[in-house]
A and B are shown apart, each in its own frame.
Chain A
Amino acid sequence: MFLVVLCVVFIQCQVNIYSAFYSFIPVSNDTRDLLLATVSEDSTASQIHQSVSALSALGLPLASQEVVSALKALHVLIIILALLTASRLSQQAELGDILEEIEDLAARLDDLGGVYLQFEEGLEATALFVSAAYSLSDHVDMEPPLKEDQVIQLVNSIFSKKSWDSLSEAFSVASAAASLSNNHFHVPVIVSAQGPAAVSHSHPFLRLQVTDVLCQPLSSASVLAESASAVSSKSAVLSQALFTLRDGVFELNFMASQPASGYYQFSVAIAGDSRFVANHVELKVKVSTRVAINNMDLSVVDKDQSIGPKTTRVEYPTKAKASFMADGHQNFAMTFQLVDETTGVELTPHQTFVRLHNQKTGQEVVFVAEPDSKNLYKFELDTAERKTEFDSISGTYALYLMVGDATLENPILWNVADVVLKFLDEEAPGTIQAKTLYVPKPEIPHLFREPEKKPPTAVSNTFTALVLSPFLLLLILWFKLGANISNFTLSPSTILFHIGHAATLGLMYVYWTHLNMFQTLKYLAIIGSLTFLAGNRMLAQKAVKRYTHQ
């Protein structure tokens, strides 16, 4: 580093001396690279100045924008260093001007989406600014001009990275963390749930960790749950409940208020110190429960309701001993209730499926069991209606009930019974083809545009003759009128004009058959100009003749 500085200074002095005597100085590539490399954000102001002067005196290209951003980064760092220095001075000194710099620098912070607040120079400058601002404010005992949401956004930006590029960056973050946990004015509070934010009968306590930025527990704080309301029904369950501190963790027995299972929105306030910042948090807590299946009744109902249904009750987790038969004349039906194990309240979980699995062929068909208005789940299987799902394959199907939900601690997969299904017409193929989705699809042949129907050639020929016939009429009329070419003078311009005119007509025919517009225009320009000149001459002669006759 020192050598680099020496080199740059030496080069600059040399360049200045030489430029006074010589007009051309040879520069090697290494020298130029060295000078360009010095212009970076790590150099001091004097280094930047020397390398930029050397480069411009040598007539080498400069990256002006890079130099400007290097200079701007220096500016912020200089002020931060000034703040840090001032915090070590005697309190009698006049530090008012330097204190105002905090507010000026705070105005230069960039707001990113309302979540982050940082300098465009980067993380290190932001973190150093925070620690400098707070150490100077503590030193002169005046609150820094940073508002609460600015402090929150600064905390978001400084602690957003989990690994750092350099030791100095890591140091700046650590220094910011230390000053944010230990100053006289603002102490941001971090609240997080210990483990998942979920309670149940087996784990009735909601545990929160309340710490400062350095993850030291704030034992002097008092944590209050201002309100807790169910997300689905918005009804308040809890109000002004205090958390108790145990082993450095704040806990609250939420199950004591007997909440129904589901999600709850908590609003938590942390008090105890006037320095606390960000001490109101919103938390989403899940209350889970265990489900029990009651009154599982399986029955085979006759379609015409002539014979009464035979109902078999099955208890979870046993399987029904006898298998049930359902064919075209009978429906298979299943009813049950799902309740909370402890409170007996009826539940409607997100997933209640009935799965029929054919053990021989490996087919499985899944249906949804729907609850009615009284929260009683019903499932009916009509073999005639549903034969497409089963591909009309008769046989023994194992019946499973699947119950699941995010708030259930015990999801259920229960083989309830075996059902023998008989379908009326065996349309099924001998072997089951697995429904393949990823085979090549049948090819679609391209249909070319059909040519339009043309009229028969005879008709076309007739009309062609008809259309050309007036020409004959014209010739006859002209002959009758006595039109002649007796005034035809054999002067060169006349002959040339007529040749040119005929050539134009010939060109039109060739254009129709072979050429395109550009070629035609080219030829037309040549022929046309010749014809024009000749025609002009000829018509002038004719005009002269007419005047002399008159």
Chain B
Amino acid sequence: MSNSVFSVISRFVEEYRSSTPNKLKVIDAYLLYILLTGVFQFLYCVLVGTFPFNSFLSGFISCVGSFILAVCLRIQINPQNKRDFLTVSPERAFADFLFAHTVLHLVVVNFVG
């Protein structure tokens, strides 16, 4: 059983390494970074306490929001999905990404206190 899981994982990793374009890998690295940041914040809250709760929320929501926006960007940029996004060019996706981030950060900074 574990053998097949291991083989599936190794195959998936191999497939990922070879067939994903570099641009997407860059975004994937960014996603990993955001994920880790969110996890560490959550860990702090679990271990030490939620004293400035609004700050914790703001930070966590920033991580979650950024992750979602980056995922959207990745989906829209991926050339394999071109048929689904005929009206959205990669540049347009990137511009949307930036605009959404501005709004997100406005809210996050407002809430962090």
Q: Among B33, B48, B98, B106, point to the contact of A471 (Cβ < 8 A).
A: B33
Complex Cα gap A466–B112 (Å): 19
Q: Among A452, A460, A536, point to the contact of B95 (Cβ < 8 A).
A: A536
Q: Is the CB of A520 within 8 A of B106?
A: yes
Name the distance in Å between A483's Cβ and chain B's nearest Cβ: 5
Q: Is the CB of A477 within 8 A of B32?
A: yes
Q: Is the CB of A474 within 8 A of B51?
A: no
Q: Among A463, A470, A508, point to the contact of B105 (Cβ < 8 A).
A: A508
Complex Cα gap A423–B90 (Å): 100
Q: Enumerate A466-497 residues with CB–CB distance to B below 8 Å.
A: 466-467, 469-471, 473-474, 477-478, 481-483
Please give me the residue from chain A that is nearest to B23 by CB atom. Answer: A483
Mark contacts of A503-526 with chain B using CB atoms, 8 A cut-off: 1 yes-contact digit, 0 otherwise. 010001001100001001000100
Interface of B is mostly: helix
If A452-B51, A463-B40, A517-B110 touch, does A474 touch B102 (CB 8 Å cutoff)? no
Counting CB contacts under 8 A, is A308 at the interface? no
Chain B residues with Cβ under 8 A from A539's Cβ? 91-92, 94-95
Counting CB contacts under 8 A, is B16 at the interface? no
Complex Cα gap A543–B88 (Å): 12
Counting CB contacts under 8 A, is B10 at the interface? no
Interface of A is mostly: helix
Chain A residues with Cβ under 8 A from B105's Cβ? 508
Complex Cα gap A524–B102 (Å): 9
Chain A residues with Cβ under 8 A from B36's Cβ? 469-470, 473
Chain B residues with Cβ under 8 A from A13's Cβ? none
Q: Enumerate B1-36 residues with CB–CB distance to A below 8 Å.
A: 22, 25-26, 29-30, 32-34, 36
Name the distance in Å between B65's Cβ and chain A's nearest Cβ: 14
Mark contacts of B90-112 with chain A using CB atoms, 8 A cut-off: 1 yes-contact digit, 0 otherwise. 11101100100010011001101
Complex Cα gap A390–B76 (Å): 91
Q: Is the CB of B112 within 8 A of A512?
A: yes
Counting CB contacts under 8 A, is A329 at the interface? no
Q: Is the CB of B26 within 8 A of A455?
A: no
Count of B interface residues, CB-CB < 8 Å = 30
Chain A residues with Cβ under 8 A from B109's Cβ? 508, 511-512
If A473-B33, A535-B95 touch, does A466 touch B102 (CB 8 Å cutoff)? no
Please give me the residue from chain A that is nearest to B49 by CB atom. Answer: A455
Complex Cα gap A453–B49 (Å): 10
If A474-B30, A535-B95 touch, does A508 touch B37 (CB 8 Å cutoff)? no
Q: Is the CB of B29 within 8 A of A474?
A: yes
Q: Is the CB of A540 within 8 A of B33?
A: no
Q: Enumerate A529-550 residues with CB–CB distance to B below 8 Å.
A: 535-536, 539-540, 542-543, 546
Name the distance in Å between B33's Cβ and chain A's nearest Cβ: 4
If A455-B48, A467-B37 touch, does A481 touch B102 (CB 8 Å cutoff)? no
Could you show 28 A-B contacts with beta carbons less than 8 Å apart? A453-B51, A455-B49, A455-B51, A460-B48, A463-B44, A463-B48, A466-B43, A466-B44, A467-B40, A467-B41, A469-B40, A470-B32, A473-B32, A473-B36, A474-B32, A474-B33, A477-B29, A477-B33, A478-B29, A481-B29, A483-B26, A511-B110, A512-B109, A512-B112, A535-B98, A542-B91, A543-B90, A543-B91
Besides the known contacts A455-B49, A511-B110, 9 further A-B residue pairs in the complex with CB atoms under 8 A apart: A460-B48, A463-B44, A467-B37, A467-B44, A508-B109, A511-B106, A535-B95, A539-B92, A539-B95
Report which B residues bind A (CB closer than 8 A): 22, 25-26, 29-30, 32-34, 36-37, 40-41, 43-44, 48-49, 51, 89-92, 94-95, 98, 102, 105-106, 109-110, 112
